[in-house]
Chain A
Amino acid sequence: MRLPSPAKSRPVRAEQIILFRVSGQLFAVSSASVQEVRSVDTLSGTTKEISQPSLRKVRHIVRRGENSLYVVNGSIHFGLPASPAALVFVLRRTRTALLVDGIEKMTTMTRLQALPQAFCHEEQDWYRGLTALDQTVVPVVKPEGFLTPDELSLLDASQMPAGDLPTNAASPSKAGPTPAGDEASLAR
């Protein structure tokens, strides 16, 4: 009664990832998904506070030209104890800026295992999968998983002047992606 030996691994393309912490918990994100890394201090002049009682994880919005980014508190999103965030990741091709404690390191993963199907709730939307690094298992986050289309619609609707509210709030696809930079930049 033994597990069959894992199939011989094929050469896979390595992917550069950023290991970061939220409330002390380690996560990974593809570095290609991170457009900018900024200190939270540098955001203070460009953010506007918003209040959406049903969505406590978003308390600020960042205006960038015609686009707006919703600042997601990673601790609340993952249901972790509150912790002071030092950095914010602007996630490429999303409208999310993610508050995190800090960066652990940048490294490379060569294998990403899909999240086991036993995990059958929101986490299926949160993670691309799991990777094993240095005998530790790290969840690899899905950048588009921090705000669902419904949540984006709710946030967009909350930003419209009361008289301008459409019967159906703008869908996130209509809002369009954020401008993409070439590489993740580290602006601290």
Chain B
Amino acid sequence: MSPVADTDSFVLLRLGERRFAVAAVHIAELVAPSRIFRFPHRTKEIEGVILRRGRIVPVCDVAEKLIGKSLLSRRFYLIAQRRYTSQAEWVALPVTGDCELIFAEMMPAGDADMPHVAGWLSHDGDVIEVLNLAALTPGAGLASASLPAPLAQEVRP
């Protein structure tokens, strides 16, 4: 069976010497690093949170999982939408270089691929992993494609 190719837009991000892609539909914005607020917790993949336009956004360094080492320096945070069982929320992914919006055909991942690989695309002679953020970042469950847009869930004070 030949895999089905989807033409879509992707954001290329850089972690050290490697590039990865995320479907552009899941990206909110690229922002300069800001102060990380840290507090006790047990989710080791999360560094802390940043404040962005009144929202509290967790910072998740995915470099260790993807390139085998944590980032020593970071140039931007790529703020992406992560789908959970009941809703979507933003996560901030530290990246080491500029990001680029491209249009490409994605080849879906195969059975042998890691869970965090949603597919593959070819760009500038490189074969680039398209990331599945739900498998890459901590938290429960995948959700259907028709989730409501992310909102900062407010609880009554």
Q: B51, A137: Cβ atoms under 8 Å?
A: yes
Q: Which of B20-72 contact A (CB under 8 A)?
A: 24, 27-30, 37, 39-43, 45-46, 49, 51-58, 60
| Cβ–Cβ < 8 Å partners of A121 in chain B | 41-43
Cβ-based interface call for B115 (8 A): no
Residue-by-residue, is A1-18 near B (CB-CB < 8 Å gives 1, otherwise 0)? Answer: 111111100001111000
Q: Is A116 an interface residue (CB 8 A)?
A: yes
On chain B, the residues within 8 Å of A154 by CB distance are: none
Closest to A108 in B: B157
Q: Which of A3, A7, A130 contacts B28 (CB 8 A)?
A: A3
Residue in A closest to B83 when the chains form the complex, CB atoms = A117
Of B11, B40, B137, B139, most buried by chain A (CB within 10 Å of CB) is B40
Whole-angstrom CA separation of A114 from B87 in the bound complex: 13
Residue of A nearest to B52 (CB): A3
Residues A137 and B157 in contact in the complex (CB < 8 Å), given A118-B60, A118-B91: no
How many residues of A are in contact with the other chain, CB < 8 A? 42
Interface centre among A110, A129, A131 (most CB of B within 10 A): A129
A64-97 CB contact bits vs B (8 Å, 1 = yes)?
Answer: 0000000000000011100000000000000000
Q: How far is the CB of A180 from chain B (nearest CB, A)?
A: 20
**CB atoms of A112 and B156 under 8 A apart:** yes
Instruction: Tell me the chain A residues, 1-49 only, with Cβ under 8 Å from chain B.
Output: 1-7, 12-15, 25-27
Residue A52 at the chain B interface, CB threshold 8 Å: no
Stretch from B106-114, B120-128, B145-153 contacting the other chain: B145-153
The one of B42, B53, B149, B154 in contact with A113, judged by C-beta atoms closer than 8 angstroms, is: B154
Residues of A within 8 A of B101 (CB): 1
Q: Across the interface, which residues of B come within 8 angstroms of A151, CB to CB? A: none
Whether A60 sits at the interface, judged by CB under 8 Å, is: no
List 23 contacting pairs A-B, 8 Å CB cutoff, sorted by A.
A1-B24, A1-B30, A3-B53, A3-B79, A3-B90, A6-B53, A13-B157, A79-B40, A79-B42, A113-B55, A114-B154, A116-B58, A118-B91, A120-B139, A123-B40, A123-B43, A126-B41, A130-B49, A130-B56, A136-B37, A137-B39, A137-B56, A139-B40
A residues sitting closer than 8 Å to B (CB atoms) are 1-7, 12-15, 25-27, 78-80, 109-114, 116-123, 126, 128-132, 135-139
Given contacts A2-B28, A119-B139, A132-B54, list 12 more A-B pairs with CB under 8 A. Answer: A3-B53, A3-B79, A6-B54, A79-B40, A80-B40, A113-B155, A114-B153, A118-B46, A118-B82, A119-B41, A121-B41, A123-B43
